[in-house]
Chains A and B, each alone.
Chain A
Amino acid sequence: DVKVTQSSRYLVKRTGEKVFLECVQDMDHENMFWYRQDPGLGLRLIYFSYDVKMKEKGDIPEGYSVSREKKERFSLILESASTNQTSMYLCASRGDRVPPYNEQFFGPGTRLTVL
């Protein structure tokens, strides 16, 4: 079974703090994604990565950055957390070599509250 793990289920931070959200997958997947989930808005793509050290902006990258130094690990960074970044953050991974190729596997999510 594919396992996608995230470093924390719940996180509380203060405005202005630097926040790191870590995601690790164990299936040697090439592609990794960070989404945020808000009521009524569904899942919105923040950043994604197709390969190590490679990153692409998603639909809402402002206020976020990412790092992918190793294939299995994809980190989301909030340089200076703000209250409007309070949300559920979901990491996902997807392989290119195993059918159905397009299925995304999600981690359990991190519920971040910024005070």
Chain B
Amino acid sequence: GQQVMQIPQYQHVQEGEDFTTYCNSSTTLSNIQWYKQRPGGHPVFLIQLVKSGEVKKQKRLTFQFGEAKKNSSLHITATQTTDVGTYFCAGRGNTGKLIFGQGTTLQVKP
């Protein structure tokens, strides 16, 4: 079945360093979404990418969707302690169901 793999599982950075998490699907996706879950909280929608090669920015966050629509990345520039949490990608394939990656947990040392 369709799988979405996300790496790394954990990342510890010093405040001010950059951070990237990667998502890879076994099949072509119709769209991909990103969610953030703060410690003790629930996932909150960040963004959706639909087009091949699409790049979207939200302040220090940059989201990319691969040309083949099988991979995606989230890059955070100059991390802050408020960026702490787990970031999930979720891809929608030909079944229409949203498949979540395993998540990347980001720790930021002040």
A: residues with CB less than 8 A from B are: 35, 40-45, 48, 58-59, 90, 100, 102-109
Most buried by A among B1, B31, B43: B43
B6 touches A42 (CB 8 A): yes
Q: Is B63 an interface residue (CB 8 A)?
A: no
Cβ contact of A44, chosen from B9, B31, B100, cutoff 8 A: B100
Given contacts A90-B42, A102-B33, contact A43 B100 (CB under 8 A): yes
**With a CB–CB cut-off of 8 A, which chain B residues contact A104?**
33, 35, 43, 45, 98
- Pick the 10 closest A-B CB pairs, nearest first: A42-B102, A43-B100, A106-B42, A103-B45, A42-B100, A106-B43, A42-B103, A108-B42, A109-B42, A100-B48
What's the least CB distance linking A25 to chain B, in Å? 13
**A106 and B42 alpha carbons, distance in the complex (Å):** 6
Number of interface residues of B (CB under 8 A): 22
**With a CB–CB cut-off of 8 A, which chain A residues contact B68?**
none
Q: List 12 A-B pairs, Cβ < 8 Å.
A: A42-B100, A43-B43, A45-B97, A45-B99, A58-B97, A59-B1, A90-B42, A102-B48, A104-B98, A105-B45, A108-B41, A108-B42
Most buried by B among A40, A41, A42, A48: A42
**A106 and B6 alpha carbons, distance in the complex (Å):** 21
**With a CB–CB cut-off of 8 A, which chain A residues contact B6?**
42
B: residues with CB less than 8 A from A are: 1, 6, 9, 31, 33, 35, 41-45, 48, 88, 90, 92, 97-103
**A43 and B45 alpha carbons, distance in the complex (Å):** 14
What's the least CB distance linking A72 to chain B, in Å? 18
**With a CB–CB cut-off of 8 A, which chain B residues contact A48?**
97
**With a CB–CB cut-off of 8 A, which chain A residues contact B99?**
45
**With a CB–CB cut-off of 8 A, which chain A residues contact B45?**
103-105
**A115 and B54 alpha carbons, distance in the complex (Å):** 47
**A16 and B97 alpha carbons, distance in the complex (Å):** 31
**A105 and B98 alpha carbons, distance in the complex (Å):** 13
